[in-house]
Structure 1
Amino acid sequence: MIDFRYHLVSIVAIFLALAVGIVLGTTLLQEPAVKSAQELTGRLTETNEELRTEIDTLRGREAGNDAFIAAATQNLVTGELVGQRVLLVETPGSSSSVREAAQQVLTQAGAEISGRVTLTEKFLDPRSRGVLDGLVNQLKPVNMLFPTTATSWDRAAALLASALVTNDAAQAGTPNTAATDVLSTFEAGGLLSFDGDPAQRATLAVVFAPERPYEGDNAEAQAGAVVSVANGFDVASRGTVLAGMAAPAAMPGDVISALRDNSEVAKRVSSIDTSDMPVGRVVMVYSLQEQLSGRAGQYGLGRGASAGMPQVTTPTPTPTTDSGS
């Protein structure tokens, strides 16, 4: 029979063996382990420095490109939108500085800004769908009909667009008789605010997406609501562009991706994911010009972009002949 002393000796022997093994292992492996760690640290440091240099180089090139495009913008866009009126639509989370810079370039292109409409968070809140439906039913003309699949935001966008934009050049700059009531009622309901005189109808619209994708349980619904707004204004006008910034990854609340993923809307509404860059503002002008010709495209650097910019067509020079021929 194995007594307690045998167990005790066995346990002591085991721990002694472990201690000896640890001491021997530490002594024998210390120098190789330290050397290996030092080599790894050196390689990581070298890689980090190379990446920093590469990033600095890319930032320098980007700054140079931005400076060049900014200086050339006037020449690149002059005359592209002469005779057009543009309505600016801001969404919750969109950048006022991006909108101001875009407005300046649109003006340089010869467009007249009819006004600005700013949608509120309440407009995009799924809990406000009943309010939207009630106002639309109250304000819409008798002959305004909606598809059976139309959402609350589809209907609200169609009503707003019918009041603020037109695809008839002869009506540009003239008020829709219902515009004042629509704007004032939606404003009283906390759904939007406006600046300028958007009731004097525009021919084109630019909808500014939020700087960052919407987050939370309602993110996908909010992104879809903005797409509905862009689509509604496109249908009623001569063209609409959704302007935003590329998201770092695919997210449910990314408005630009939501539009590009909707194949039917993407056939009509153009999008730009470089609107925070000088080149993006030039592309915005070219995209609106493309919309006037009945075409659409998805432009930029992010997910779903088909090209950096629309194909720009230039008049073919008239051949000249020598006077002596």
Structure 2
Amino acid sequence: MTLRQHITTLVAVFVALAVGIVLGGGLLSDVTEAASTETSAPVAEAAPQAAYTESFTGAVAPALVAGRLTDRQVALVTVPGADEQVVTGLTERIAAAGGAVSARYDLTETMVGPDQKTLVDTLGSQLMTQQGDAVAPEATTYDRIGQLLGLAVATATPEGEATNGKGRAILESLTGADLVTAPADVERRAPLVLLVLGEEPSPEGGDAILAGLVTGLDRAATGVVVVGDTADGGEGQLGLLRAEPVSAEVATVDGVETTAGQVTTVIALARAIETPGGSFGASGADGPVPLG
């Protein structure tokens, strides 16, 4: 086992302990009702222990991510309400790993609002006719628009590709319809897509919209990683996405408001080049972080 693998394993242990502290007020706090009066000390200790975990992870982060994304580009896609500090932190971690964000694409309220489905469906149907067989004819409304966005910003070629005329035309249409905010001078399509979640989706089908968009993006990219904060795991929007079939193809990470979550995201991005799927983070079924 390499030194970096040892450190990664150690970080996984620290994160697991931190999660136990945060969620349970101490690892043994729920053992019995009789012990309930003894949990005040673990609860009081939770904050400094969590701070230590954050400091420790920050100290080892450079060694953990160094070289993992060398010469790789990542298309950064945000959902309305995405935390700007988290987005900045993730961008910096990607750079520290040797990679770069090809461009940032912000989905708008119009894109994810259930009341705008007719607009999304009509535009997607129109754009699909210009793409030949690049978009699956059986795709649903949000799967289709996700595929179209993917064709514009991502590629299944691991090295990435230059943006082409069709991709520019798609992006111009999406931005013109106020579905996406994007820079005007995008030069590269990235093999990796990082989707950063924001506010909770609408209870009127918002989770299905997210699943459709992710499914579509995954069809066009080499790898996709979807990330959210700790609250998004479990029964939150990331937890709901993990119950969808697309979760077998895309990686998910919760807890990205922490350094550990951001480091895990970088490792998951590197892993996604060759290995699909994976549920990581504070409530990830596959552990706090991909080991190896």
Q: TM-score, normalised by structure 1?
A: 0.73
> 1:255, CA displacement in angstroms?
2.2
Whole-angstrom CA distance in 2 between matches of 1:74 and 1:195: 29
Whole-angstrom CA distance in 1 between matches of 2:221 and 2:231: 28
Q: Does 1:275 align with 2:256?
A: yes
2:237 aligns with: 255
CA 1:66–1:197 in 2, change beyond 3 Å: closer, same or farther?
farther
1:93 partner SS: coil
Whole-angstrom CA distance in 1 between matches of 2:174 and 2:257: 29
Equivalent in 265, 274, 277 of residue 293 of structure 1: 274
1:156 aligns with: 145
Equivalent in 108, 111, 123 of residue 99 of structure 2: 111
**Cα shift readout 1:164-211 (whole Å, capped 9, x = no counterpart):** 1111145x241121222222221121111014744521110100112x
Q: Which amino acid aligns with 2:142?
A: W
Bigger relative contact order, structure 1 or 2 (CA pairs below 8 A, ≥6 apart):
2
**Cα shift readout 1:207-231 (whole Å, capped 9, x = no counterpart):** 0112x5335x42xx21222222222
Q: Does 1:205 align with 2:193?
A: yes
Q: Considering only aligned residues, what root-mean-square deviation do their CA atoms show, in Å?
A: 2.2
Whole-angstrom CA distance in 2 between matches of 1:156 and 1:125: 13
CA 1:238–1:197 in 2, change beyond 3 Å: closer, same or farther?
farther
Whole-angstrom CA distance in 1 between matches of 2:286 and 2:230: 13
Larger radius of gyration: 1
> 1:235, CA displacement in angstroms?
2.1
How many residue pairs match? The answer is: 256
Quick check: 1:116–1:196 contact (8 Å CA) kept in 2?
no
**Runs of 5+ unmatched residues, structure 2:** 1-35
> What are the equivalent positions in structure 2 for 1:1-325 lying under 5 Å apart?
51-140=39-128, 141-148=131-138, 150-169=139-158, 172-195=160-183, 197-210=185-198, 212-215=199-202, 217-218=203-204, 221-247=205-231, 251=235, 254-262=236-244, 264-302=245-283, 305-312=285-292
CA 1:271–1:197 in 2, change beyond 3 Å: closer, same or farther?
farther
Which range moved further: 132-141 or 189-198? 189-198
Quick check: 1:204–1:288 contact (8 Å CA) kept in 2?
yes
Q: Which amino acid aligns with 2:169?
A: D
Whole-angstrom CA distance in 1 between matches of 2:261 and 2:147: 27
2:23 aligns with: none
Quick check: 1:180–1:199 contact (8 Å CA) kept in 2?
no
> 1:81, CA displacement in angstroms?
0.6
**Cα shift readout 1:12-35 (whole Å, capped 9, x = no counterpart):** xxxxxxxxxxxxxxxxxxxxxxxx
> 1:269, CA displacement in angstroms?
0.5
Quick check: 2:232–2:239 contact (8 Å CA) kept in 1?
no
CA 1:82–1:228 in 2, change beyond 3 Å: closer, same or farther?
same
